[in-house]
Structure 1
């Protein structure tokens, strides 16, 4: 009979996602206090397309400390530039259609989208964010 050892448990552990470590070191751990998350939430919920165009013209994906938030912003910016709806279900569809939701990284991206979608930041102060 084989008994589980500490070595067996380490061998089956999930690999560490380097993006997770970078994101956890660089940004706030409470989404409600994270200005990047607040900006994305307001951008997802704004109906003011002129304001959305203005914001997406000022930033790029690399401006975000959290790499997943940067990736979400890039998708949002593409949708805004194409004059398509940029609400959460449309962003999710764009991610899915682009094959970006596969595997562990895809799950983290979907979780980040859910976090910012449900944050509750009002779209009224979008430019301030």
Structure 2
């Protein structure tokens, strides 16, 4: 059961990396927290900070989340959705709720379903 839940949480994390990255609008405190807790190396932290300043760089936070996906864990989620991060990045709260609610399937609150007409007019 626990493996199934972890697999579903991993899938949910994978499917929501864009939402998480979009909510994180500035590198501090996110990158520093990940580095302080050993989720990213000092080298990765430095490269990410440099890329953050470059207008031509790919989205730094998304790239970090893609790397972190390889070592996905509950402690990682606890850091991402820490009280400090929720205060610094209020838009993270909606994504965090989808994890807490057990809604591990792709959460579609952003995309309402538009009813399609039946048959020809």
Task: Note whether the superposition's TM-score is higher than 0.5.
Answer: no
Higher helix content, 1 or 2? 1
Q: Which has the higher contact order (CA 8 A, sep 6+)?
A: 2
- TM-score of the aligned structures, taking structure 2 as reference length: 0.29
- TM-score of the aligned structures, taking structure 1 as reference length: 0.28
